[in-house]
Amino acid sequence: MADLFKIGLSGLRAAQTNLSVTGQNITNVNTPGYTRQTAVQTTGPAAFTGAGYLGSGTKVVDIQRIYNQFLTNQVRTTTSAAAANQAYNAQIEALNNTLSSTASGITDAMKNYFNALQTAIEDPASLPARQLFLSEAQGLAGRFNSAQDQLSAQNRFINEELTSIAQQVTRLASSVAGYNDAIAKAAANGAMPNDLLDARDEAIRELSSYVGINVVPQDDHSVNLFIGSGQPLVIGKEASSLQTLPGLDDPSRLELHVVSGHTAQNVTSLLSGGELGGLLSYRRDVLDMAQNALGRMSLALASEFNQQLGKGLDLNSELGRGLFNDINADALVELRSRGRDGNQSTDPLTVHIGDTSQLQTSDYELTFIGDTEFRVRRVSDGQMLGPFDLSVTDESAPGYPAFDGLDLSQSNGSYIEGDRYLLTPTRHAAGSLSVVMTDPRQLAFAGPVAVEADLQNRGTGSMTQPVLNSGPEPMDLQALQAMGVTLTYVNGTLSIESTATPPRTIEILNPTDPANPGAWSLEAGATAELQWSIDGYSFSMSISGRPLDGDSFAVSFNEGGVADNRNALLMSELQSRQVLGQADGARGFSLLDGYGDLVQRVATLTAQSRTEAEANQAMLVQATNQRNSISAVNLDEEAANLIQFEQYYNASAQIIQVARTVFDTLISTMR
C-alpha cells in the first residue's frame, strides 16, 4: 500500500507543479519578453519484485523555458534594423518636406527673384520695379536662412536624442550586468532562473532598439555585450557607460564615448543599428550634405550677383555695390575653421572663398605636418589633398595653399606639427546670407561704358554696346570716367586710340595682324567681335554693317545711363549659367539646377528609406511572430492544459483514495 500511496502522491505533486507553471504562463501572457515555461517530468526509480521491476511514480526534474536562441537573435537583429530605419526616416522625411515645400523651399523664391529682375530689366529706370527686385532678394535670402534654421534645429534635436539614448543604453547595460551576476549565482545551484533569463533577454532586446549589439554567451550563463567594432559594453557583472561629449573638432555636435573607469573611447563613427545608428547615419550622410549644398548655393548666389553688380553703374552714375553681404566678411571667415581641442597652437586659420564654382559640398580635416605645411582630407570622399604650405604666396608656385575654391592663409601666429583643424567652408553660409542693399537706386543695372557713333558717319556700320569682361576689383570710378577711346575705320582697317590726357595704352586682344597690333582688319558687311583692353579693363563688342572711310565711334563713361539695362541682362543670365560644380573640369550646373539636384537626391533617399523601413518592419513582425509561435503564451493552449492537469490532479488524488480504501479493507480483514 505504501507504494501506491507514494505513486499517487508523486502524481499529485507533479500535477500541482504543472498547474502552477500553467498559471504562471497565463498570468504573464502580457508580460514583455516572457517565455512560456513547461515542467519536465520523469519516472521515479523502479524496484525489482518477483514479478519484475515496479515503478515508484513520477517527479518533476526541471522547469524549462520554451526557448529558441536563433529566433531570439533574429528578433534582436530585426529590432535594431527597424529602429535605425525609423529614426533615420523620421529625420529625412522632415528634411524632404522642408526642401520640397512651396512654403519653405527655395525653388519658388528663386523663380520670383529672377522674375522680378526681368521686370526691372524691362524698365530699368522704374523705382517700383527695382524695389520689387530688392524685396524678392530679401525673400530669397530669408528662405535660405529658414532652411538653415531647420537643419540647425535637426542637429540640436539629434544632440538631445543622443544624450537621452546614451542614458538609456547606460541604464540597460547596468541592468544586464546585474542580471548576469544574479543568473550566474542562481545557475550555480543547478537550475536555471527562468524569470531572470527572460528579464535579461528583454533588456537586451530593448537595448538593441537603441544601438546595434553583439551578444556573446559565457560558460557561467552570463553574456558579454559589445557595440561598434567590438568595444565592450558589458563584461560579466561589470558595465561600461555610454556618454555624450562635445566633439573635439566641432563642439556643436555631440559624440559618443564608451567610458570604463577613467578611460573613454570615441565610438561615434563605429556605431550602427538602433536609434543611435539611424540618427548618426542621417547626420553624417544627409544632414551634412544638405547643409553644405545649401551653403554652397548661397555663396555662389551672393558672389556671382555681387561681382556682376560691381561691373555696372547705378542710377547715380556710381559703380555698383554688393546686393548681398560679402562672402568673405570677417564674421563668416571665422565660422569656416576651428582648431581641435588639444592643439598646441591656439592660432586661428583664415579660409577665404576664392572661386565659388569650384566649391565642394564637403567639410575638410586639416593636419599640420610642419610649421606651415599641411595636408587636407576631404571628408565627403576621403581624398587626401596636398601637401600645401602657408608660406607660399605665389599662386603659380607648388604648394600654394588653395584647393576646391578655397584660399587659406596664415593668421597672426604660428602652427605646430600635429595641430588639426576642421574646415567647414559652406556649412553655415545659408544661415548667414543677407541683403545689405536698401536703396533701389543703387542697383547697378547699367553698363559702365557706352559706345556712340559719330553723327557725321556716312556708312551703315554699327557697334553693339561694350561688354565688360574683366577688370580690377573693385573698379576705379575715376579711371572709367577718364576713359576715352575712338575707333576709326579707314581702308578696311579699324584703328583704336586713346583720347584721354595723357593717352592710355590700348591693346587689341584678338588682333587680325600680329605685326600691326594697333589696327584691326574688318571686312565690310561682315559681323565680327573686337576684344580690347585699357587700364586693366577688357571689353568686347560686335561690329557689323558697312562703315565708310572716316567713320568713327567713341567709347566713354556711361554718364547718366538710366535707361541702360546691359548689366541687368548679364545678371539675368545667372539664372541658367553654370556657376556651381565646375571642379575638376566638370561642366557644372546653375543655381536652380543645383537646388533641384539637392531636392531630388533627398527625395530619392527618402523613398529608399521608406522602402527599407517597410521591409525591416515586415521582417521584425515576421521574426516576432516566429518567436511567439514557439515561445509566447497561447491562452487556448494553456486553458487546455489547465483542464488536462486538473484531471491529472484529480486522478492522482483518486489513486491515493483507492490506496486508502485498499488499506482500510486490509486492516478490517486482519481484525
Residue-wise pLDDT tens digits, 650-661? 888 888 888 777
Task: Establish if 365 belongs to a structural domain.
Answer: yes
Length of the chain: 671
Cis peptide bond N-terminal to 502, omega within 30: yes
In terms of domains, do 183 and 197 share one?
yes
Residues 603 and 658 in one domain: no
- Pull the grid cell for residue 264: 573613454
**Which residues contact residue 552 at a Cβ distance below 8 angstroms, ignoring those fewer than 6 apart?**
453, 454, 457, 486, 487, 488, 489
Say whether both 77 and 215 belong to one domain: yes
Tell me the residue range of the domain where 499 lies. Answer: 449-557
259 and 112: one domain?
yes
Q: Is the pLDDT of residue 472 over 90?
A: no
Residue 416, φ and ψ in degrees, nearest 5: -125, 140
Question: Which set of grid coordinates corresponds to residue 544?
Answer: 557689323
Question: Does residue 482 lie in a domain region?
Answer: yes
Q: Are residues 28 and 98 in the same domain?
A: no
Least-confidence region, from 296-310, 400-414, 566-580, 656-670: 656-670
Model pLDDT, residue 523: 78
Statement to judge: residues 388 and 461 lie in one domain: no
Residue 257 lies in a domain: yes
The CA–CA distances, whole Å, from 24 to 31, 33, 103, 373 equal 11, 14, 57, 72
Kindly state whether residue 199 falls inside one of the protein's structural domains. yes
Task: Indicate if 395 and 339 belong to the same structural domain.
Answer: yes
DSSP 560: T
Give the mean pLDDT of 563-590: 90
Q: Is pLDDT above 90 for 274? A: yes
In a domain, 578, yes or no: no
Residue-wise pLDDT tens digits, 523-545: 777 888 888 888 888 989 998 88
Tell me the pLDDT of the chain averaged across its residues.
90
Q: Are residues 60 and 11 in the same domain?
A: yes
End-to-end CA, the chain: 18
Say yes or no: 546 and 664 in one domain. Answer: no
Say if 309 falls within a structural domain.
no
Cβ-based neighbour number of residue 272 at 10 Å: 18
Dihedral Cα 60, 65, 68, 74, nearest 10 deg: 180
- In the block, residue with C-alpha cell 542710377: 315
DSSP reduced 3-state for 213: strand
Alpha carbon of 76 to those of 71, 209, 396, 431, 609: distances in Å? 9, 8, 59, 41, 20
Q: How many domains does the structure of the chain reveal? A: 4
Q: How far apart are CA 434 and CA 323, in angstroms?
A: 9
- Whether residue 356 is contained in a domain is answered as yes
| Element (DSSP H or E) covering residue 259 | strand 254-260
pLDDT of residue 2: 53
Q: Cell triple for residue 106?
A: 527655395
Alpha-carbon gap, residue 293 to 598, rounded angstroms: 7
Mind listing the pLDDT tens digit for each residue in 232-273? 999 999 999 999 999 988 899 999 999 998 899 999 999 999
One domain, residues 237 and 194: yes
> In this structure, are 470 and 544 located in the same domain?
yes
Domain boundary among 557, 582, 610: 557
SS3 362: coil
| pLDDT above 90 coverage of the chain, percent | 60
Question: Could you tell me if residue 92 is inside a domain?
Answer: yes
The C-alpha atoms of residue 376 and residue 386 are separated, in whole angstroms, by: 6
Task: Name the amino acid, one letter, at 596.
Answer: G
Residue from 184, 160, 467 nearest 308 by CA: 467
Nearest 5°: the CA angle 480, 483, 489 is 140
- Taking the C-alpha atoms of residue 120 and residue 568, their distance in angstroms, rounded to an integer, is 8
With a cut of 60, say whether residue 349 has pLDDT above it.
yes
Among 616, 634, 629, 636, which Cα is nearest to 72's? 629
- Is a pLDDT exceeding 70 seen at residue 285? yes
Q: Do 405 and 383 fall into the same domain?
A: yes
pLDDT over 80 (residue 85): yes
